[in-house]
Structure 1
Amino acid sequence: MAVTCMLSLALFWSSLLCLVPSSLQDGAAGNMDRELQHILQNYNKVLSPATRDNQTVLVKHGITVTRIVDLKDDVMTLDIWQDMEWTDVRLRWMADDVLRQINIATDLIWVPDIVLYNSGGISSYLHPPDTRQAHVLYDGTVFVSSALRLHVWCGNANGSSPVDQDGTYTCNLKFGSWGYDGFRMDLHGRMDDVDLSSLSEHRQWRVKSTSMTRNVVLYSCCPEPFLDLSYTIQLEPKYGPC
């Protein structure tokens, strides 16, 4: 009886699909394929999306901490989602009611070279490379979100421990461009703070506070400013100082 019901449902849904014209089923995919080929035909992913009118690319950056994996000496290991948003005028097209957004593999387009400056080890992606997609709107807005496992060096320049006398563990995650100065890439936070909405509870530590600071650094050698975003995470032990 159950098998008969399942076959009947399958035939019912198949008959409904037959009522949908194939032109409607294939139209969106065909439009997307043609638009993607047109966009990428003369696209050079080595060049930034700077224009003659505006040589500076505005990049918005944010992190969502999902898990504190380990704290060992001066190194914190944690899982995050890194979000980046910018505009690339070369990826614009005339929008219609069907095609207002497309996904493009990140290895086909220019992506900001944002790195963790104070890395305490090799960071890694938590998802396979072929799953990393950029969400591109018709107006050229690009959004990329990547799941990363970071190893962050939390030590201080003077050699002092990141743990204070009350047992609070303070770690700064400093992100910035590897190759662009502040005149060519204007780095800002997508949010005012660290996103903890998806954080899994740790058995030993809880988050005491977080903050985000945008830093502009000038060196005597160079007229260009150098920008970074510093995300500060303070953890306190659940059961008293360690």
Structure 2
Amino acid sequence: MIRVRDLEKSYGDLAVLRGVDLDVAPGSIVALLGSNGAGKTTLIKILTTLLKADAGTATIGGVDVATQPAQVRESTSLTGQFAAVDESLSGRENLVLIARLRHLKDAGAIADDLLARFQLTDAGGRRVSTYSGGMRRRLDIAMSLIGDPPVIFLDEPTTGLDPQSRQEVWSTVEALAERGTTILLTTQYLDEAERLADRIAILHGGRIIADGTLAELTRLFPPASVEYVEKQPTLEEIFLAIVGEDDAA
């Protein structure tokens, strides 16, 4: 569903992406890990047509993001690091607004369906300013689903949320994947990647330096043993071993 080949992007003399290759299968969740400044958000911006690459190719569902950006936007949605909701409106009004901007019929019915799917029906008539962090993020993701895009990009969706709100968002993302939505998730929370991702890609030095399931990445890390009991490495230990502790700091 998502295919990236030899993607490059520089800001002046700073090369951020230096030949990125990445594949995301339909209906799967891929977590993109990397230190601050590794280029995760830059890659997401290129894939969502907000930024142009210097070299390489990227396609969404076989559609080139550089030459057919309008078609790509019709089939994708982006949820950024901060909830893009209007706090002066109610949850339902936010959803109706987006549905109307997309020129969809029965905007009210679409809003009511999404409120139900995201367990927000009781709060639908309240102003978003009264919502908790998890509720705002769930509403934000619900807004991104209007029009049923087959591909969703989640750029650090749980940044700044408390543990309970993070659990709410995780459950929401898992439900989306069960419905067949393809999800590319960037995160700095390694437990989030462990919980959600079918595959994990590590972006470092402008390239994808590791890509596989958690089990496959675990095999890259030699097991330690204490009194003949094998210790399985955590994803955090694997990540630091691959990129180096100094680079990840």
TM-score range, shorter chain: under 0.3
Q: Structure 1 or 2: larger strand share?
A: 1
What TM-score results when the alignment is normalised by the length of structure 2? 0.22
Higher relative contact order (CA 8 A, sep 6+): 2
What TM-score results when the alignment is normalised by the length of structure 1? 0.23
Q: Structure 1 or 2: larger helix share?
A: 2
